[in-house]
Amino acid sequence: MFCAFYTTKTYLIKDRNSGLVKIGKSSDISKTLLSLSSDNNQLSLLLSIDMDVVNELHLKYADKRRLEDWFELRGSDLLDIYTKYRYGSLR
């Protein structure tokens, strides 16, 4: 019997064209990035966090939301997120 354990992770992906950052969650971030990149090849993974904190981040940065899950985050915002969840991996 095969039993798989999937951990939902939070990711921050940047669109280099618009400068916007997508805050989302996935059990397979590489697959998600590949899927999103099929429509836009200017995407890059900025940060992955080893837990689901999407709702928390969406609430915290609600005033910076521009379109659905896309936010206009500054470098200081990204540093704050990384500092709080430093066990993630910053790219």
Residue 6: per-residue pLDDT: 58
| pLDDT bucket at 14, cuts 50 / 70 / 90 | very high
Residue with tokens 């999103």: 36
* Tens-place pLDDT, residues 43-59: 999 999 989 999 999 99
- State if pTM tops 0.85: no
Using alpha carbons, select from 61, 82, 83, 84 the residue that is nearest to residue 73.
61
**Mean pLDDT along residues 73-82:** 94
Direct distance between the N- and C-terminal alpha carbons of the chain, in angstroms, rounded to an integer: 37
- Bigger pLDDT: 34 vs 72: 72
Is the confidence at residue 36, as pLDDT, over 60?
yes
